[in-house]
Amino acid sequence: MDYINQLIFPPSEGHLLVARFLLVVTLVVHFAYIGFAVGASMISLFLNVVDRDTPNANLRRFAKYLIDLGMVHRGLVFFVGIVPIPVVALLYAQNMYQTSELTALAFVVALPLVVAGFCLLFRYKASWGLREKSFLLHLAPGVLGLGVLTVAYFIILSGVSLSMDPEKWPFITNPYNFFMFSWNNMIRFLRFPIMAFAVTGSAVLFFYFNWPEGEKLEDEQYSRFVRYVGGGLTLGACAVLPVFVVWNLITLPNVALSLSLYGTCIILVALLACAAGKAFGALVSPARTPGAGIFITILVTLALLNVADSIAHENAISDHTSVLLSAAQTAKLEREAKREAAAPAKGSVAEGEQVFKKVCATCHRFDRKVVGPPYDQTLPQYVGHQDQLEAFIRQPSKKNPEYPPMPQLGLRSGEVQSVAMYLLQTYQNGAGKKK
Amino acid sequence: MKKLLTVSLIYAYFGVIIVVIGGLRAYWNKYKAPPDQPINFPHQIHVTKVGLKCFFCHSNADKSIHATVPPVSRCMSCHKAVATDRPEIQKLTGYWKEKRPIQWAQVHKLPDFVYFSHKRHMKKGVACETCHGQVGAMMKMRRVRSLTMGWCISCHRLHQASTDCATCHK
């Protein structure tokens, strides 16, 4: 997978921050839509089949309404259903630069499946006229499309779970291992349809009752039906989701946990309570038209779910992120050093004295041992070899086992030259005086 | 009336879940979170900035079962003079003057019935990072591997090392 690594620069701090922000935003938008598309297709197909057994105009009408709403427009599906997948793949590759490309790979592998799934669902939507003639030809693309999307999201969600579990990365050496069973992966997969029902239920309540086509509301019996299905789905999903939130917290690897993750989950459950209360209200008070409140609450909950996942991911890779950042820092320093080398810095004894006082004097004196050995012992070998002294200061190596190793000082090359000049000059002057 | 009761029940359910998460949070913070150390020792500064090798401090890692945490005297070879104005270093000097060992909180601990040897793994050239993560980036030491049996065995399988029960359970 080297090509992904080559595509992506060693990230700088700003770079990573932007990548993370984009990742959360893209995932939220994508999962909000996908949740709705999958939920709407599932319920549409289900009601469609039920209607076949026990014909009921409401069921039929609602099944068509759902799929029309879910696959509302090809352009929209393209931009929120398909485009985010390669974008997210790139962002994960960026975040996990040089660790594991499995998560990014999962999104890439799932991409053609998602495209195929949507094509099939559009076919299902378009074949409504075929329903009476050949029910099977009408239903099959829908079922197949949903099946393909299910497989695609199993792969994607496995990849997302894996991004929070660095311990497993080295052991995934073939595609079969990728699907290694883990409870955490399982909950993320089972949570997906539940979240899809919540989004679908609340979206139906919102779109049906607030979309500017007032005439729909005239059919009171149908409106009541829509209200029950929408409210019921939302309430049910809100009631089940907290179990998954807790289960997720229990099964996440320890590295992915942090106090802020628990805090986010508490807010998340409080929001779910809020949405559940509202959905219950919509079910039991038929006089009031459901507004946008439930839908917005559910969307915010979904966003928080993604934020929680993202916090877990960042906890899991935080040490690696620091490594990346310091690599970027080093690369920047190297670039600066090259620029300096192109226009050689002139060291000065005065600057050398400053550096000595600020840095070296912590551990060294000329005439006595502090942490490091006295200069009067170590400098004689460098008289006339200033370049060797500079090389040692730049890249200290252990010389005398009686002392702790000298640290890397991170001086600029001009400073190294200055301090070497200062040390040799001071030493020779001092030596001269003693004689 | 019935409506009110149902609504209260719904909120009570979510309340219970929130209490459960609060409980999990407290449990994690007490038993699973990286422990606070008596001195905030930053690996990041010593490993990455100062450039010390792991073995300089954990000198038994390739010689014995235990890698062992260094004695205070090892710290004092530098900190007699380095950064003596910082409160953490003054604490360190306090331990040294009173000749008290520092009670570092244990981050990695296998159960007693498991036999694990650093030396064997060092001999095979398994890097510290494989099991302890990017220590050089940690301001506070934390455990990044589960240390479960499944983890040990997965790696042993990958490297064709022994997975016989008696290897680790003596």
Residues 386-415 of A with CB under 8 A from B: 396, 403-405, 407-408, 410
- Give the residue among A425, A424, A369 at the shortest CA–CA distance from A400: A369
CA A393 to chain centroid, in Å, comes to 41
Q: Is residue B28 part of a domain?
A: yes
**How far is B20 from A147, CA to CA, in rounded Å?**
35
Angle B64-B66-B70 from CA coordinates, rounded to 5°: 105
Residue with tokens 């409870």: A183
pLDDT digits (tens, 9 = 90+) for A174-226: 877 777 778 888 999 999 999 999 999 999 999 888 876 555 666 788 888 88
Give the model's pLDDT for residue A216: 60
- Does pLDDT of A252 surpass 90? yes
Does B80 lie at the interface with A, CB-CB under 8 angstroms? yes
Residues 233-262 of A with CB under 8 A from B: 239, 242-243, 245-246, 249-250, 253-255, 257-259, 262
Q: Is residue B83 part of a domain?
A: no
* Residues B164 and B115 both lie in one domain: yes
* Residues B9 and B65 both lie in one domain: no
Q: Is residue B159 part of a domain?
A: yes
Angle A151-A154-A156 from CA coordinates, rounded to 5°: 110
Asked if A163 contacts A313 with a C-beta cutoff of 8 angstroms, the reply is yes
Banded pLDDT at A327 (limits 50, 70, 90): confident
> How many CB atoms are closer than 10 A to CB A435?
4
| CB–CB contact B154 A171 (8 Å) | yes
For the question of an ipTM over 0.95, the answer is no
| CB–CB contact B130 A371 (8 Å) | no
Taking CA–CA distances from A397, the nearest residue in chain B reads B51
* Residues B168 and B128 both lie in one domain: yes
Q: Is residue B102 part of a domain?
A: no
User: Domains in chain B: how many in total?
Assistant: 2
* Residues B64 and B148 both lie in one domain: yes
Q: Is residue B20 part of a domain?
A: yes
Give the model's pLDDT for residue A11: 64
* Residues B64 and B116 both lie in one domain: yes
Asked if A82 contacts A113 with a C-beta cutoff of 8 angstroms, the reply is no
More confidently predicted of A289 and A420? A420
* Residues B28 and B65 both lie in one domain: no
Q: Is residue B14 part of a domain?
A: yes
* Residues B5 and B65 both lie in one domain: no
Task: Give residue limits of the domains in chain A.
Answer: 2-329, 349-434
Residues on chain B touching A370 (C-beta within 8 angstroms): 80-81
* Residues B112 and B28 both lie in one domain: no
Mean pLDDT highest for which of A90-104, A376-390, B102-116? B102-116
Give the model's pLDDT for residue A344: 61
Q: Burial, A89: exposed, middle or buried (Cβ in 10 Å; 0-12, 13-18, 19+)?
A: buried
pLDDT digits (tens, 9 = 90+) for A396-428: 877 777 787 787 777 777 888 888 889 888 888
Half-sphere exposure for B21 (CA within 13 Å, toward CB): 27
Domain holding B152, by residue range, is 60-69+108-170
Give the model's pLDDT for residue A343: 65
* For residues A264-280, average pLDDT: 95
**How far is B153 from A185, CA to CA, in rounded Å?**
21
CA distances from A254 to A20, A344, A374, B100, B126 (A): 21, 50, 48, 33, 23
- Does pLDDT of A288 surpass 50? yes
Give the model's pLDDT for residue A215: 52
Does A266 lie at the interface with B, CB-CB under 8 angstroms? yes
CATH number of A349-434: 1.10.760.10
Outline where DSSP puts E strands in B22-157. Answer: none
| CB–CB contact B3 A326 (8 Å) | no
